[in-house]
Structure 1
Amino acid sequence: MSNMDTSKEKIRSILQFFFDQGEKAAKAAEKINLVYGPDTVNERVAQNWFRRFRSGNFDVKDAPRVGRPVVENCHKIMEIVETDRHVSTSLIAEELKISQKTVWNHLHNLGLKKKYHVWVPHELTQKNMLDRISICESLLNRNRIDPFLKRMVIADEKWITYSNVKRKWEWSNDSELIQTVSKPGLKTRKVLLCVWWDWQGIIHYELLPYGQILNTDLYCQQLDRLKEAIAQKRPDLDNSSGIVFHLDYTRPHTSIVTRQKLRELGWEVILHPPYSPDLAPSDYHLFLSMANYLGGEEMASREACENRLTQFFANKEKVFYEEGVMMLPFQWQKVIEQDGEYLTQIE
């Protein structure tokens, strides 16, 4: 061990210097140990301090307080979180004999947030990713020249199950990718929700009778009912320069008969890349919120499902729907920046 001054504050200041230089935590620890001795700072301590610096906290002094020092608490909390990314703050507080608020503060300072696992439809191929980039670039350019988001009607469907599993979350920082898992098969009792909405709210929705599936004929009938709903609820949109229709690539949407029906109605269908729920406002916004609302619920009948959906839609203010639609350009831009990879959603 070197006899040089190796006070904690000095070592932390050196760690901050390496952080500012863009050095990795492990490399910073290695360089410090070469100068001051092999046991001056270990890699985990360096990583914890780098997390703290990334969160914007550059105070390298120990705060005077009763109980365990701040950094010691941070170390122990990180050890627990790294062992179990699903652990609750109350369990951490109980184990370390500190307050739950202290745990929250430490996790925040370390740059950690609750993030939910993301369900993805399948692994993207290289072509899928290139298509996603190309379409996102096209839509971004078009929206800059001719903003169309307030003329857009979003159409989508979702199975509403009588028994709803609550999604899992884990602790993660902004630089970490969230775990993606394949969506489980829905074998439980369920009914299909068909919904159409825009930046102002729900325009029309239908909950199909139990056991009924959506086919092209039924979908075209729904489009006629949607046209009536638009005329009643969105007269300005009905009389505008043209409705822009957002559809995904499910079978009833892509049939020749459906496309012909949409042309007869005078509605333009915008591009949407296949296998891209992260670019569909219903999936990344409306249905995500709905899943959290219904999470853990057991419903006895189709009527119970419909009542809960009615409550959910009624409780959402206009700003909720506007945020979901106006987020699209940011989603397009992020897909381009991430070379076509799936985006993760933070809850």
Structure 2
Amino acid sequence: MLEKFDGSKSKRVYDIITGDESWFCYYDPKTKRQSQVWVTSNDPHPTKVRRQRSVGKHMFAIFFMKSGFNTIIPLENGKTVTAKWYANEYLTQVLKQVEKHRRLNGLLIHHDNAPAHRAALTMEYLVTQHVKLMGHPAYSPDLSPCDFWLFPKIKEQLRGKNF
């Protein structure tokens, strides 16, 4: 892939759009590392009340490109990603946003191998829109920017906050 895009020097990297879905808890307590404080040897150690992660959570689907975020869509409460929703609602909104700035011809979409992403309905929709699919090796979250970069960064910023 690096050869194909000339080590990210090629303008073709602007043709790639990537996305995924993730659960976000309404409250996620800070990690031990996030709540560390410096104290002198004379100061008492602060007490930390152990908090539980909230039961409530919401799933968000996010797509972005090198030029920035494209689409962030919350799923309805209790809903999960299905091929029908992914192809007919989500990808439709994503591609409408892309079309505001460029043509779809030559667009490369990258997502993981989730069942909704690989379903026949999804593949048919991408073909009708003239969008090509980038391959994603099985069990390789290290190749998905959402898994190794975006979602951990967002969740780190949300820790200790209610939403």
Deviation string, structure 1 residues 263-311 (Cα, Å, up to 9, x no partner): 1111111111122222111122221210111012233xxxxxxxxxxxx
Task: Count the aligned residue pairs.
Answer: 142
RMSD, aligned CA: 2.4
Corresponding residue number in structure 1 for 2:2: 140
**1:225 paired to 2:87:** no
- Partner secondary structure for residue 4 of structure 2: helix
Q: Summarize the alignment of residues 301-312 of structure 1 with structure 2, pairs less than 5 Å apart.
A: none
Q: CA deviation at 1:166?
A: 3.2
1:191 aligns to 2:44 (yes or no): no
Query: Aligned-pair distance for 1:187?
Result: 8.4
Residues 167 and 263 from structure 1, CA distance in 2 versus in 1: closer, same or farther, beyond 3 angstroms? farther
- The structure with the larger Rg is 1
Structure 1 counterpart of 2:16, from 152, 158, 177:
152
Correspondences of 1:320-335 after superposition (within 5 Å): none
What is the letter of the counterpart of residue 219 of structure 1?
Answer: Y
Provide closer, same or farther for how the CA distance between residues 259 and 187 of structure 1 changes in structure 2, counting only shifts above 3 A.
Answer: farther
Shift of residue 168, structure 1, vs aligned partner: 5.2
What is the letter of the counterpart of residue 144 of structure 1?
D
Partner-residue secondary structure (3-state), 2:55: coil
Equivalent-residue separation in structure 1 for 2:130 and 2:16 (angstroms): 13
Equivalent residue of 1:298, what SS?
A: coil
Residue among 56, 78, 83 paired with 1:211: 78
**Unpaired runs of 5+ in structure 2?**
34-52
What TM-score, normalized to structure 2? Answer: 0.77
- Structure richer in strand, relative to its length: 2
* 1:242-257 pair list within 5 angstroms: 242-257=106-121
Partner of 2:67: 200
Q: In structure 1, what is the equivalent of residue 138 of structure 2?
A: 274
- The letter for the 1-side match of 2:55 is T
Residue by residue over 1:1-48, the C-alpha shift from the partner in whole angstroms, topping out at 9 and shown as x without a partner, is xxxxxxxxxxxxxxxxxxxxxxxxxxxxxxxxxxxxxxxxxxxxxxxx
TM-score, scaled to structure 1: 0.38
Task: Measure the CA separation in 2 of the matches of 1:294 and 1:187.
Answer: 13
* SS of residue paired to 2:24: strand
The ranges of structure 1 where at least 4 consecutive aligned residues each deviate by more than 6 angstroms after the TM superposition are: none
The question of whether the paired residues in 1 share the 8 Å contact of 2:28 and 2:161 is answered with yes
- Distance in 2, matches of 1:154 and 1:165, equals 29
Find the residue that maps to 2:5 and give its secondary structure. Answer: helix
Q: Aligned partners of 2:32 and 2:131: how far apart in 1?
A: 39
Equivalent in 102, 121, 128 of residue 264 of structure 1? 128
The CA distance in 2 between the partners of 1:155 and 1:281, in whole Å, is 8
How far the C-alpha of 1:200 sits from its partner, in A, is 1.4
TM-superposed deviation, 1:140: 2.0
Contact 2:106 2:132 (8 Å CA) reproduced: yes
- Higher share of residues assigned helix: 1
